[in-house]
Amino acid sequence: MYNKTVMDHFRNPRNVGVIDDANGVGEVGNPLCGDMMTIYLKINNEHIDDIKFQTFGCGSAIAVSSMLTEIAKGKSLAEAKAITNKDVAEALEGLPKNKLHCSNLGADALQLAIKDYEDREAGIERPVLERKDEHEHSHGETCYCPYCDVEILDGVNFCEACQSDLTEEH
């Protein structure tokens, strides 16, 4: 199911843990979908000095978190802000199409953590993150039918290819 790189990051995840005095924290996902990720950042002089993660999720989710933190560690904030989910998936040498859903969390969590840092620096009180209870994916990114892997368009709730009702997933 997963290639060697993904399995390596799953079996030996890098940067697992918590930073007690983190100055940027980002949490995405929810147990409803089966994936949840928290990224902790220690930022000094606009650089990510340290980064750690905790993840509740499948092999893909853990591998994504690990690779993401490996890519982001030591980067400047400007460089880190440019990291996308696609970058993480490519660094992992690809994920199964129906697992791209899991990989969406990675860079999203990092960006949220950076925003948290910037808000704290600016003295902005961040609202408590409200857990979203539906399937979320960025509009414009491709989504695939979880039953037959055929690409489906946004807002579509019925897969023509396999006649599956996707009202709940999509």
Partner 1 sequence: MSVINLDHISSNPLLPEVKTAMIGAIEKDYANPASQHKRGEEAADALSKARTSVAKLINCALEKEIVFTSCGTESVNHAIKGVAQANAKKGKHIITSNIEHNAVIRSLRRLKSQGFTVTSLSVDQDGRVNPDDVAGAITDETILVTIMHSNNETGTIQPIAEIAAITKKNKVIFHTDAVGSVGIVPFDVQKLGVDLVSFASNTYYGPTGVGGLYIRRGTMIWPLLEGGVQEHNKRAGSENMIGIIGMGTAADAARRDMGKRLGHFNGLKARMMDKLPQSIDEYIINTNLKHSLPNLVSLSIQYIEGESVMLMLDDEDIAVSTRSACATGSLRASHVLLSIGLSHADAQGTLVVAFGIDNSEADIDFFLDKLKTVVTTLRDISPLYKNAKQA
Residues in contact with partner 1 by CB under 8 A are 7, 10-11, 13, 16, 18, 27, 31-38, 54-62, 98-99, 101-102, 135, 146-147, 165, 168-169
Distance of CA 9 to the CA centre of its chain: 15
Minimum CB separation from partner 1 for residue 165, in Å?
Answer: 7
Q: Are strands 35-44 and 47-56 parallel, antiparallel or unpaired?
A: antiparallel
Ramachandran region of residue 79, left (φ > 0), alpha (ψ -120 to 50) or beta? alpha
Between residues 60 and 111, which has the closer beta carbon with respect to partner 1? 60
* List 33, 143, 145, 159, catalytic entry: 33
Between residues 36 and 89, which has the closer beta carbon with respect to partner 1? 36
Sign of the dihedral defined by the CA atoms of residues 22, 26, 30, 36, in that order: negative
Active site residue 159: no
Phi/psi at 70 (5° precision): -65, -40
Between residues 106 and 121, which has the closer beta carbon with respect to partner 1? 106
Minimum CB separation from partner 1 for residue 131, in Å?
Answer: 11
- Active centre residues (catalytic): 33, 102
